Chains A and B, each alone.
Chain A
């Protein structure tokens, strides 16, 4: 069931009706059943695999909570990572028997694995507000708005919402529908619109769009990925808000970042913060325990490199993705380099010109690295080579630049107010006009078209 489809809207409406009519225990059970049903629309066995992993992780986490033991963490992490490697990477390439096992891979499993690992670690550190019941943990694990592509939630943050009174009042409803409307606009109008304008040969025969053209198309691809994923996240956060649950933000105007360090805290934030908390910081602390200086070269290089290596592996085991991760690691390291030589001035205190140059440099890094994200190494080489040839700006590229401008304008408005749903504070006529524009543009964008699948559903 696609998130941008009428069947999904009908499904949410039906679940909402049952949810608010039910009692306390009934609400959890209804959400859990609905989540399993939603998952089953992608593959019938997916809920079974998910529930089996949920039960296993809950049991291991309970063991860690009650009697912390060093051996159980590696076992638990190994179980999750091993299941992911087996189902996603080993089984599909094997013979008929192993291929059959690979069919068991539920969509979004990579996200579940990160959530499970985080939960196990938090349980071992007793960083939970009490150990959850299996039913509550199963809901966290299977909660349908975040099933497909996250956000990667922390058990402690989600489960802490269960005992709280969740009142869905008019303000919450307005906020929820605003998030959904913004998400639909980003995905269906901006992401699909720009993607539709991109030459199909960009990552196949890059020589057909040489020079400046290809560089701008690569930047356009960054906007596609951003609006696609940010649109998805906005929709699922809005849907979740209808049930009274707050899901984490994934993006905070990342294309307005002024250096790569700042980008990392604004792009796919739930993954970045997971990497920070479970790879970067533990490695950094381990280095400090060995008396390495916090501002030393090793501490500068190893933690970001390790974090980006894990990120690359999470996206997929392929040489181009490893190269992409290495490049991002290098960018992070370079961004932190100035700290070796003294106190660093935060970007907010930079001159306007320096901030703009910083943003432009981030765009160049993103556009360059997106080649590795999208294509294999030989093709990436051809794309980079094509950039050296002369080229012209075409009409579809101009249209893509207009859509990219609209995307940036939304980001600027949201960032200035430091609020995604800033539009709710506009005068009534402006709110209604903006929503009318969204409705008309989404309607026209989806005529005669089948919306493209969300990019991050592939991971």
Chain B
């Protein structure tokens, strides 16, 4: 038998005093702290002493290059041009040498920046280029490409991190508080930078590897790498490169990047590789040339010029860090050629 005395009574909400005072005060304190933090993060002192601010993609090289561009823009105004692409651009294009050549050929000062990123593939390039162009307003960009950089298996980790990051997604329409904060709050970017270097759960080995990616980074974004003797092309290397293939998806992504031509002039340039591995690409020498042809067709379809690297100006034998990346000596050689072409191109544009 159920006891009648067990019948439930009604619960009532009856605060005797106004509630929430502590919460209101706490929110006010938190807001004051946030404002103070934002102010502090924008000072030269903070920029000098705190780790590089981060956009939260887990790629400190990207953060470092964004910070360098910010510094240049603050000090001297926006750069005229950006060199964009993968690590092959990062190590292969020396903006200082390009500028010297343009000055000597045309008398014009050219301020440019190397925005090559280790591990950047076509899929990650398109959204990132759009954001960088929108933020730093260069007058032109040069996309350095190679059939070696258009394989689907290259740069997967960075690409996945970029495409998943709230910052990139914010600019692709998937708005979020995190993405908004990265765009608008220097304090938040400073926090992300602190978190990556001091609080991030990545292993020590990964953090060391990330530091290694930034060795030799110069203020103009160029990644200096010293000459080193190359080993003979061994079976492992042959097998490694023979699996490469220019992916239609990567070419489509390249088209996506080239769509920026509606905002500013773009040039696509070939980044050369060591002659010993040209013939090892995919199914042989023809595969490499066919890859270049595919790049040229993609550029032509977008109405963008494609500059092939001339065969009669090979990068010197001591100009390679490895078989797909130039070292400082090779970059100097290549950048002279690029400077000549850019000088003529920009003169032609300026005269119109």
Contact = CB atoms under 8 A, between A and B. Distances in A.
Given A435-B23, A448-B166, A167 B14 contact: yes
Contacts of A390: none
B209 interface: no
B174 interface: no
Contact of B10 (A24, A399, A440, A448): A24
A27 B25 contact: no
Contacts of A164: 9
Interface string A116-130: 000000000000011
Contacts, number: 122
B44 interface: no
A174 B19 contact: yes
Contacts of B6: 129-133, 136, 159, 162-163
Interface in B246-273: none
A432 B1 contact: no
B16 A20 contact: no
Contact of B11 (A27, A394, A448): A27
A440 B5 contact: no
Contacts of A173: 15, 19
Contacts of A243: 11
A431 interface: yes
Given A399-B199, A428-B22, A448-B166, A440 B33 contact: yes
Interface string B7-32: 11111111111110111011101100
Contacts of B166: 448
A198 B15 CA distance: 44
Given A169-B14, A435-B22, A448 B9 contact: no
A60 to B, nearest CB: 16
Interface string A429-459: 0011101101110011001100000000000
A166 B178 contact: no
B181 to A, nearest CB: 7
A150 to B, nearest CB: 22
A199 interface: yes
A56 B154 CA distance: 59
User: On chain A, which size bracket covers the interface?
Assistant: 35 or more
B198 interface: yes
B10 A170 contact: no
Contacts of A133: 2, 6
B192 A448 contact: yes
B203 A199 contact: yes
Nearest to A201: B203
Contacts of B34: 440
Chain A contact residues, majority secondary structure = helix
Interface residues of B, number: 40
B9 A432 contact: no
A131 B2 CA distance: 5
B352 interface: no
Nearest to A129: B6
Given A170-B19, A177-B23, A448-B178, A136 B8 contact: yes
A212 to B, nearest CB: 16
A448 B8 CA distance: 45
B19 A130 contact: no
Choose among B6, B25, B27 the residue with the greatest number of A CB atoms under 10 Å from its CB.
B6
A365 interface: no
A405 interface: no
Interface in A151-167: 159, 162-167
Nearest to A426: B22
Interface string B188-204: 10011000001101011
B8 A24 contact: yes
A433 B19 contact: no
A200 to B, nearest CB: 8
Nearest to A195: B201
17 contacts: A129-B6, A132-B2, A132-B6, A133-B2, A136-B6, A167-B12, A168-B12, A169-B14, A169-B15, A170-B18, A173-B19, A243-B11, A244-B11, A436-B30, A438-B26, A440-B30, A440-B34
The 3 closest A-B pairs by CB, nearest first: A130-B3, A435-B26, A432-B25
Given A131-B6, A168-B13, 9 more contacts: A66-B1, A130-B3, A163-B5, A168-B14, A170-B18, A173-B15, A198-B201, A432-B29, A440-B34
